[in-house]
A = this chain, B = another copy of it.
Amino acid sequence: MTTTTTPQTQQPAATPRVSFWRDEAKEPWRRNLALIGVLILLFIIGAVIRPELYGDPKWVFDNMMVILQQASAIGVVTVGMTFIIIGGGIDLSVGALIALAGVWCTTVATQSFGSAGMIFTAVAVGVGAGLVNGVLIAYGRLVPFIATLAMLVAARGLAARISGKQTQVSTDQFINSIASTRPFGIPMLALILVAVAALGWVLLNRTTFGRRTVAIGGNAEAARLAGINVRRHTMLLYALSGLCCGIAAIMLTSLATSSQAAAAELYELDAIAAAIIGGTLLTGGRGTIVGSMIGVVIFATITNLFAITNTPTEAQNMVKGGIIVLAVLIQQLKFKSVKQMLIRT
């Protein structure tokens, strides 16, 4: 690349070679790097407070696996949530859908159909409820916030009715064993999360479905004028989120060997927060699966750190609030362009 600037005036779109630190297309990478910095910071804090634990490499590996395992269900939900938010929506019903799918698949009747029947039920309930959300939003033209809030309330009610407000114990050996299986020393649930996230990444970045999601969230009118069926796509997005809830319900049931109507409380807030911390724009059109996953892992690591350092609950809350603010601020302070980005949002 020579120094002449002339072609720029002639050709307004010319690309000067830009460094990694200034290239706008690399901005998500830079954010993710900053988030990984936050993770390292959390690790260091842990190591300072409990050096005897963090000094043991086996424990450290083991602890990482525990973190991944604990992050798995919420992680799967966050994959769906990332799609929803990128597509310009919001889904407040995810926690309730997990609870509903969970109690539905652990009713005595369903359990009698065996593991496959349970998994099928959970997924079907999730997708079905997600479709209801999608139809209300895309065709009923409800604001996503209201439609999914209504679903939240209704699904928790239905879950309470189905479960008779009792915790339902899963007697299915296969389902219960998922959480305790550790192929190659890695928890099965963590592997499922990685698989779902990888599929999500491909879907978002390499398929028309993903590209259309970005287009609808970025400029719904442009997408419509370009011939995209915005309504149908929006509906499918909520079904996808419901699917993720169904999968997460199985994972959570396996972890707790049971389900209840009050399960997965406030998962919606955690999932949304993880996605936003991971760089997803709440107004739609921008976001990455990788960022969201790092966001989820940060939250799980914070919880883990609290357990390890035995922080009292009320202090946990205060510290957690601080860390959330810090994580976002760090991304901003380091990289000027990120800052500009946020002004505009």
Contact = CB atoms under 8 A, between A and B. Distances in A.
B154 A320 contact: yes
Given A142-B325, A143-B282, A150-B325, 16 more contacts: A140-B332, A141-B342, A142-B329, A143-B328, A143-B345, A145-B282, A146-B324, A149-B269, A149-B273, A153-B321, A155-B321, A158-B317, A160-B314, A161-B318, A165-B314, A221-B344
A156 B277 CA distance: 21
Interface of A: 92, 136, 140-143, 145-147, 149-158, 160-161, 165, 221, 261, 269, 272-273, 276-277, 282-283, 313-322, 324-325, 328-329, 332, 339, 342-345
A144 to B, nearest CB: 8
Nearest to A231: B343
Contacts of A318: 153-154, 157-158, 161
Nearest to A345: B143
Nearest to A343: B141
B276 A320 contact: no
Interface centre among A319, A324, A329, A343 (most CB of B within 10 A): A324
Task: Please classify the interface of chain A as helix (H, G, I), strand (E, B), loop, or mixed, using the class held by over half of its residues.
Answer: helix
Nearest to A154: B321
Nearest to A325: B150
Contacts of A282: 143, 145
Contact of A324 (B149, B315, B320, B328): B149
B315 A161 contact: yes
Interface centre among A149, A165, A332 (most CB of B within 10 A): A149
A261 B269 CA distance: 19
A305 B241 CA distance: 33
Nearest to A268: B269
Nearest to A281: B143
A23 B315 CA distance: 54
Contact of A154 (B147, B160, B322): B322
Given A146-B273, A146-B324, A324-B153, A317 B140 contact: no
A268 B343 CA distance: 25
A276 B143 contact: yes
Given A140-B329, A161-B315, A313-B160, A322 B150 contact: yes
Given A147-B325, A160-B317, A161-B315, A141 B332 contact: yes
A157 B324 contact: no
A90 to B, nearest CB: 9
Nearest to A261: B314
A157 B328 contact: no
Given A143-B282, A328-B143, A313 B157 contact: yes
A343 B220 CA distance: 10
A152 B317 CA distance: 9
A326 to B, nearest CB: 9
A161 B314 contact: yes
Contact of A339 (B92, B141, B324): B141
A221 B145 CA distance: 25
A150 B276 CA distance: 12
A175 to B, nearest CB: 25
A324 B150 contact: yes
